[in-house]
Amino acid sequence: MRVLLPAYLELYRRGELAARVEWALEVYEECSLCPHRCGIDRSTKAGVCRAPEQAVVSSFGPHYGEERVLVGSRGSGTIFFAHCTLACVYCQNSEISLGGRGRAVSGSELGEIMLELQKGHGCPNVNLVSPTHFVPSILAGLLYAVERGFRLPLVYNCGGYENPATLELLDGIIDIYMPDFKYAEPERAEKYSGAEDYPQKAKEALLEMDRQVGGLKTDGRGIAVRGLLIRHLMLPGGLADTKKVLRFINDNLSADCLVNLMDQYYPHFRAFQFPELGRRLTRDEYNEALEFASSLGLRLVQS
């Protein structure tokens, strides 16, 4: 069986990975990593993401709650980064994403975490959760780890609010993109996440991710090695928006990308300030969305 090696190894062999690190670190000086494009020197001040220049890690370790195609028998090697480029009113991890709870780490420390997930835990991948605002630090950590034998696929697990220029920087580095696609309607994006341009930016990001990696591919064990896996968390009362999200995926992306239509919404954080978000999703809402996705022929995560 042919083994598909992580894409970044070829860049490392050519010396391009090191060059990407140098270029990426310069972006911190006038930050444009996410669509907010603050233009702030992150070494002296935090931007909209509230994040410093140095990566902040909340926790790391094998995670068995991800999609089965990522977990295998040893758990997805998850690194949870603090802070976020969005401000979702229903955030389930507000202490981390908005409160910034975590520990600042250097590039070498981040590289050691990657190596520990590979060698110490035997994880099939390293899963970077909320990585956008720390991309330069992550690349520095990756270079350190690769020089010491790191060989796992990288999962870019993000909220979908991405700058295509940052994604282009990651071309040939990220093996598996796992973005959220939260909204298709700008009004909902502004109301619930403070980013009216989210739908347009998410669509641009999905097209770029699909261009880079295409549909999701697995190895002989059924573990993902490359490709695109899209998550959509249904919100109560948002069935029409969900259908627009699913139709965009069907009409514009590779037919074999994997879609996780998620029904586990639960009111958290400031959700109760919005009456329509103060309840769970109904079974009828989810079933109608599921039937619509199936009618389109989308490749869905099986529960």
**pLDDT tens digits for 199-242?**
999 999 999 999 999 999 999 999 999 999 999 999 999 999 99
For residues 188, 83, 51, 205, the Cα torsion angle rounded to the nearest 10 degrees is -50
Q: Answer for the pair 227, 156: CB distance below 8 angstroms, yes or no.
A: no
Rounded-to-integer distance, Cα 243 and Cα 296, Å: 10
Global model pTM greater than 0.85: yes
Rounded-to-integer distance, Cα 227 and Cα 248, Å: 18
CA-based nearest residue to 132, from 106, 105, 169, 88? 169
Mean pLDDT value of segment 130-135? 98
Q: What is the largest CA-CA distance in the chain?
A: 55
Reported as a single tens digit per residue, the pLDDT across 94-127 is 999 989 999 999 999 999 999 999 999 999 999 9
Q: Given this model, what pLDDT does residue 4 score?
A: 76
Mean pLDDT for the chain overall: 96
Q: Given this model, what pLDDT does residue 3 score?
A: 60
Task: Tokens 């028998």: give the residue.
Answer: 73
Q: Given this model, what pLDDT does residue 98 score?
A: 86
Q: Would strands 126-129 and 76-81 be described as parallel, antiparallel, or unpaired?
A: parallel
Structural domains of the chain sorted by starting position, each given as residue range(s) with its CATH number in brackets: 8-300 (3.20.20.70)
Does 1 score more than 50 pLDDT?
no
Rounded-to-integer distance, Cα 58 and Cα 248, Å: 33
Does 303 score more than 80 pLDDT?
no
Reported as a single tens digit per residue, the pLDDT across 31-74 is 999 999 999 999 999 989 999 999 999 999 999 999 999 999 99
